[in-house]
Structure 1
Amino acid sequence: MSKAIIITVGTGETVSHGICCAIRQQNPNYIVFCLTKESEVKTLPLILQDETMKDRKYDGFILKDENDVEEIRFECQQIIEGLFKKNFAPKDIVVDYTPGTKAMSAGVVLAALDKKLGTLVYVAGKRNKNGRVVSGTEKVISLEPNRTYADSLFKGAVDLFNSCQFDSSLEIVKEAQSLISDIDFAEKISLLKDLVSA
């Protein structure tokens, strides 16, 4: 299964260290860096020289305005659509929103939620006096927003099943199943599909 990651990129050496930590942890086949003009010059070279990037495929995308949330959301939606065209499924696309500006983080998260991407990650750890995570203390935290959406769809499918609307229930089950790859959830889905098909 191929995995892609979209990473917002701010400036600074500690930023590059956190990004490389997230890349190592996620181990993507393909990376898209969402950059500012400044981070393209100051941060991207630090990332690319790290051993983590050896033999990795990536693209850099310079955002038009790193402070315009709506423009960033639109541009990130286009990036995500491009990943879909490269045959990455929504559940196989990860977004790391930690290292960019606040507007970059908000824009990429809104785009990820809109496109129902599988995982959002951020890097936490001890912070220095400037509020940045100290190199070497990084911990990657994962969130699965589609889990909430899939659970909601599953509940709706059960309600439809209980109302004898089996075809509609089956359609919603299929949509929920496409959102996440969780063994326990897959078992619940399989049970409901079996009941609907009986």
Structure 2
Amino acid sequence: MPRALVITVGTGRNRVDVATSIARNSIKVLNPDHILLLCTTLSAKETVPHLKEALPATWHERFEEPVCVDAADDLDRLFEHYREAVLSFMKRRRLAPEDTYADFTSGTKPMSSALVLVAVALGLGRLNYIAGERDREGRTMTGTERTMPIFPRRILYDQRLREFQQTFDLHQYGAAREILLPLRGEGTHEHQRTVEVLLHLNDFYAAWDRYDFDGAVKAKKALDDLEAPHEVLPPNIWSVYKKQRDLPGRMQSAPFDWMRLVDLLENARRRMGLHLYDDATARLYRAIEFLAQARLYHAHDIKTGDVDLDRVPENCREALLSHRNERSGKIQIPMLRAYELLAALQDDLGLTFMERYRDKKGTLQKYLNRRNESILAHGFVSVDRETAGALIEHLVELTRVVYPKLEETAQSVRFPRFSTAP
């Protein structure tokens, strides 16, 4: 890949001193393929010619047309102009940020500051500063110069880690991954190790969040195979992950595990936090359906996808026959019919559900119907917070009828956050 250098150019004491220093300590040291000079009109006219004289003639073709901004003390304006100039330069020459360096030694303080800000904002590969002994006027003395490298991407690394943690805490795992990816393979061994641990941690919860239990199991293995991940992760994250890392595998192998029901509830709560009420309601409807399925399976050895008529009351059989699948021959019953069957079996869950469903206020039926009218089900409207919130309350109260360990299990499947604030 070609390497490029962006340089602020001032006037110095006599123009020659600045030009000689830039040529000797920056351009010749870094040997860039492309050079962009950020100047004032005066420095472009009086310093740049001396700079080119200090270099072999064959190097002159490496220079771009100087960018002149006569606002040497206006930091905001300089930043905007420099940012656009550097971006245009990188696009024109097809330069990667890591292969674009910047030297901010010369020029006014606002000029230097603006270039530093641009380098950090764009994640440029390196900043150069020429240091040395100072004369009485505070200028670097010729012959004492030494190049001091600074790496903006390390600054960007810390900023990106903070952004990742904030995004992870919002359960926006796709966006969190995109924040980390540019840091992969960058920086020290410890930096790279941290990024890999965080990526696999994020992949684990991203897969679990979308019910990709197989993907979560693979991400868990990848994370556990890394070098001492517990040394990288904060204690509050590691302690939760350590307790949860085998749960996706458990749920994958046990379709009617009560934990699956509670996991649906927690997933819906995460969607509520993101104001995704349609998504939350879709999960809550499935959870209410799952509740009936799991109860029939555990308490009555009945599968809603293949009902054994010998296990149901005789007065229910005729109604259930209408749900026979013509292709498979299996009797497969929907949610409401499953709760009616539970009620016919005198099961507390079925009796409680039907009482709520048929009460005079009809609140449960109303909110279930709103789900059916939603754009993610069979209708064209968006679900509001009230509907999703009401379905959470109904689900929690119905679940407690048959599964008293709801709160305890909810805590065990609640996703961790880097921030310990509530």
TM-score bucket (shorter structure): 0.7 to 0.9
Query: Larger C-alpha radius of gyration, 1 or 2?
Result: 2
1:33 aligns with 2:40: no
Q: Distance in 1 between matches of 2:106 and 2:156?
A: 26
How far is the alpha carbon of 1:57 from its aligned partner? 0.9
Distance 1:163 1:112, change over 3 A: closer
One of 13, 18, 21 as aligned partner of 2:16: 13
Residue 83 of structure 2: aligned partner: 77
Residue 61 of structure 1: aligned partner: 67
- The structure whose residues are more often strand, as a share, is 1
Q: Distance in 2 between matches of 1:69 and 1:75?
A: 10
Residue 182 of structure 1: aligned partner: 187
Q: Distance in 1 between matches of 2:169 and 2:117?
A: 34
Q: Is the 8 A contact 2:120 2:155 kept in 1?
A: no
How far is the alpha carbon of 1:43 from its aligned partner? 1.0
Q: Distance in 1 between matches of 2:45 and 2:176?
A: 52
1:79-133 per-position Cα deviation (integer Å, ceiling 9, x unaligned): 1111231211222221211111122112222222332323221110112222211
Distance 1:157 1:73, change over 3 A: closer
Q: Distance in 2 between matches of 1:121 and 1:82?
A: 21
Residue 120 of structure 2: aligned partner: 113
- 1 or 2 for the larger relative contact order (CA 8 Å, sep ≥6)? 1
Q: Give the SS at the match of 1:10.
A: coil
Q: Give the SS at the match of 1:54.
A: helix
Q: Distance in 1 between matches of 2:165 and 2:74?
A: 41
Q: Is the 8 A contact 1:23 1:52 kept in 2?
A: no
Q: TM-score, normalised by structure 2?
A: 0.42
Q: Distance in 1 between matches of 2:195 and 2:56?
A: 37
Distance 1:64 1:144, change over 3 A: same
How far is the alpha carbon of 1:170 from its aligned partner? 3.2
How far is the alpha carbon of 1:157 from its aligned partner? 5.0
Q: Is the 8 A contact 1:120 1:145 kept in 2?
A: yes
One of 43, 50, 57 as aligned partner of 1:46: 50
Q: Distance in 1 between matches of 2:42 and 2:159?
A: 41
Q: Is the 8 A contact 2:157 2:183 kept in 1?
A: yes
Q: TM-score, normalised by structure 1?
A: 0.82
Residue 352 of structure 2: aligned partner: none
State the number of aligned residues. Answer: 196
Residue 131 of structure 1: aligned partner: 138
- The structure whose residues are more often helix, as a share, is 2
Distance 1:192 1:99, change over 3 A: same
Code of the residue aligned with 1:57 in structure 2: it is R
Distance 1:76 1:151, change over 3 A: same
Q: Distance in 2 between matches of 1:111 and 1:167?
A: 27
Code of the residue aligned with 1:134 in structure 2: it is M
Q: Give the SS at the match of 1:128.
A: coil
- Structure 1 unmatched ranges of 5 or more: none
How far is the alpha carbon of 1:65 from its aligned partner? 2.1
Q: Give the SS at the match of 1:99.
A: coil
Report which stretch shifted further, 49-58 or 62-71.
Answer: 49-58
Percent identity of equivalent pairs: 28
Q: Is the 8 A contact 1:14 1:132 kept in 2?
A: no
